[in-house]
Structure 1
Amino acid sequence: MAEWEIRKLRILRTLRERGTVTATAEALHMTPSAVSQQLTNLAAQLGVPLLEARGRRVRLTDAARLVLRHADAVFEQLERADAEMAAYTRGEAGEVRVAAFSTAVPALVVPAVRALRASRPGVSVRVREAEAGEAYDLLAAGEVDLALSLAAHAPTAVDPGFTRVPLLADPLDLALPPGHALASAPEVRLADLAAEAWIFGGSGPWSDITRTACEAAGFSPHQGHTAAGWTAILAMVEAGMGVALVPRMAAPRRDGVVLRELAADRPHRHVVAALRQGARDAPAPRTVLTALRTAATHLTTGQDARIEARED
């Protein structure tokens, strides 16, 4: 197989455009003798004559024109590669794999993807729903580039393997059946529900969050029923079978359930994103992270507006 050298092909291509060795040398900031030497070397490598003398000038041979027909296609592809690489370094191109817990997908990831389609169409996002522990296992293994989780279940901020970025503090609201004595009370505190039957998962993040919030309010919750999905939890609340804490980010609205904002002891769950330390400056993941932070800001602003509307 012949040896193809981009630099020498560029010299031959410039000669076709400029017409003379002197003009080619000027365009490429070379000496005429260097241009002639490079073209002689290229002809020897390809095993065909590339130039023929015409008086004091040279002209391209048919073999040279054949070479250039293929070289043009090569240079066109290289120009596309240069453009794509430039877009990549600006964070405007590339695939980013994101692992996120269930309520973060519709609340944060989907709005971020929609925004990126408009502003950075070259950036594609591949989403994988995963609980906190699994998300960080995937991140550590290099199977995803970004992981969204709850702070309580994420690596610590000093973990040398990850860069952790806070996204938002998601308030927890109280879900009550319509006929509950506190459904229309002027103010509701978590401690007011100490004697109630609580509905939450038997294990996992949401069980831990519910127990931690109630214990911070001074009591240990009695688990009347066990459920992990919001459809099941809210159906049981609606039926008067118990009460539950609901993340505002999930926004699981149901006509037969009253959602009350808690007063002074209002609990939150903190949502964070993480990248591997070695990839913290990679352009495309940073672009997606910026979109996620913007989505979190918009979500928080929208939540505040809904609260003010209810108070009015």
Structure 2
Amino acid sequence: MTDWDLRKLRVLRTLDELGTVRATAEALRMTPSAVSQQLSSLSKQTGVPLLEAHGRRVRLTDAAHVLLRHTDIVLAQLERAEAELEGFARGEAGHVRVGSFATAIPRLVVPAVSALRRDHPGLTVKVHQADAAEVYDLLSAGEIDIGLSLAAQAPTGQDGRFDRAELLTDPLDVALPSHHRLANAPGPRLAELADEPWIYGDAGPWRDITIAACAQAGFVPEQAHVAADWRAILDMVAAGMGVALIPRLAAASRTPGVALRVLPTDQPRRHVVSAVRSGARERPWIALVTRALNDAAVALPNVQ
């Protein structure tokens, strides 16, 4: 029976994710030479070539992808084993790292951490702000234990490395200058804003969400200003510089000069999910933090 080295398997997994030996070495804090040696050793151990030349780069062979498929299963099972072992130490101090996109931190993560500090003083929670898509890289690298992200940013459903669960559905409201013609109109529709100047980011999920919602309403939004920070967007709307879609998680307090209107007919939504490495959700401390996040989501007003 082959004596498997998990370190070599993790090197192969990271190479598949990042694409180059140099990037793999940087991510794992190794030298490129050490990465190549680990992969060469793993290839000799398995008896099949795991890499093949592809221009100036290398790519994984079909045999390597078979090995990775089983590696994901093995790593998930080891996470479950560690979860059971942690059950023997439930009374000891724990440490959980939570990665989250910015708008989920004040209204989900902070209330959850506050409740945990009160009820479980032996548990330490470290928060790591990251982009919605980045949390999966952080999970894969072992830098966080729980990631809050958007369903639209998740890897494909066939990716067995992660276990995802929906946390809440975050409706998007339209932010209008308070003097706007539709600021007090009953039941505004997105199509009525087709000729307005729009404010949204130049890349990332929010640009995609805005364009997709407007496309569903039958128009392409004219991007008058580029911004990704919600405070900046709301201030620009208040100044009459344009309109924007705002998630309710980001609009916790009223902004003077801004009318936030619900779009009852064509209400766009984004889905917030929690993600962990496969098998890790059963770990006692991770389960505890996950429940606290779920409780914080349920307690949010006006968010489903």
TM-score by length of 2: 0.68
Indicate yes or no: 2:175 matched with 1:175: yes
String of CA shifts for 1:131-184, please: whole Å, max 9, x gaps. 022211010011110110111002244421000010000000110001111001
Matched, 1:217 2:217: yes
1:128 maps to what in 2?
128
For 1:91-146, what per-residue CA distance to the aligned partner results, in whole angstroms no more than 9, with x for missing partners? Answer: x7410001000001101000000111122222211000000222110100111101
Residue 139 of structure 2 corresponds to: 139
> Greater Rg, structure 1 or structure 2?
1
- Conserved? CA contact 2:102–2:129, under 8 Å: yes
Mapped to 1, the partners of 2:132 and 2:265 lie a distance apart of 28
Q: Does 1:117 align with 2:117?
A: yes
CA distance in structure 2 between the partners assigned to 1:169 and 1:86 by the alignment: 32
Q: Does 1:229 align with 2:226?
A: no
Verify the 8 A CA contact 2:183 2:259 in the aligned structure 1: yes
**Kindly tell me: are residues 121 and 297 of structure 1, through their superposed partners in 2, closer, same or farther at Cα, counting changes over 3 Å?**
same
Unaligned runs of 5+ in 2: 1-85
Cα pair 2:187 2:264 within 8 Å, conserved: yes
Fraction of identical pairs, as percent: 57
1:184 and 2:184 aligned: yes
- Match of 1:280, SS? helix
Change (3 A) 1:87 1:276: same
- Distance of aligned partners of 1:304 and 1:140 in 2 relative to their CA distance in 1, 3 Å threshold: closer
In structure 1, stretches of 5+ residues that fail to align are 1-84, 306-312
The farther-off stretch of 100-109 and 148-157 is 148-157
- Tell me the CA shift for residue 241 of structure 1: 1.2
For the residue of structure 2 that corresponds to 1:192, the secondary structure is helix
**Following the alignment from structure 1 to structure 2, what is the Cα–Cα distance between the partners of residues 263 and 153?**
25
Contact 1:87–1:93, Cα closer than 8 Å, also in 2: no
Question: 1:1-312 residue pairs with structure 2 within 5 A?
Answer: 88-89=89-90, 93-251=93-251, 253-299=254-300, 302-303=301-302
Contact 1:88 1:94 (C-alpha < 8 Å) held by counterparts: no
In 2, distance between residues paired with 1:220 and 1:260?
Answer: 20
SS in 1 for 2:302: helix
Larger mean Cα displacement after TM superposition, 224-233 or 170-179: 224-233
Instruction: Please state how far the C-alpha of 1:303 moved relative to its aligned partner.
Output: 1.8
Task: Judge conservation of contact 1:88–1:283 (CA < 8 Å) in 2.
Answer: no
- Deviation above 6 Å: which 4+ runs of structure 1? none
Q: Give CA deviations for 1:225-245 in whole Å, capped at 9, x if unaligned.
A: 111112221121111111000
Q: Structure 1 pair 154/269, CA: closer, same or farther in 2 (3 Å)?
A: same
Aligned to 1:54: none
Q: Do the aligned residues in 2 keep the contact of 1:172 with 1:245 (CA within 8 Å)?
A: yes
| Equivalent pair of 2:100/2:127 in contact (CA under 8 Å) | yes
| Deviation string, structure 1 residues 255-311 (Cα, Å, up to 9, x no partner) | 111100112100011000100003221111111001001100111xx1269xxxxxx
Residues 304 and 284 of structure 1: is their aligned pair in 2 closer, same or farther, counting only changes over 3 Å? closer
Q: TM-score, normalised by structure 1?
A: 0.67
Distance 1:304 1:107, change over 3 A: closer
Higher relative contact order (CA 8 A, sep 6+): 2
**Structure 1 contact 157–164 (Cα < 8 Å) conserved:** no
Contact 1:88–1:284 (CA under 8 A) maintained in structure 2: no
- Structure 2 counterpart SS, 1:212: helix
Q: What SS is found at the alignment partner of 1:143?
A: coil
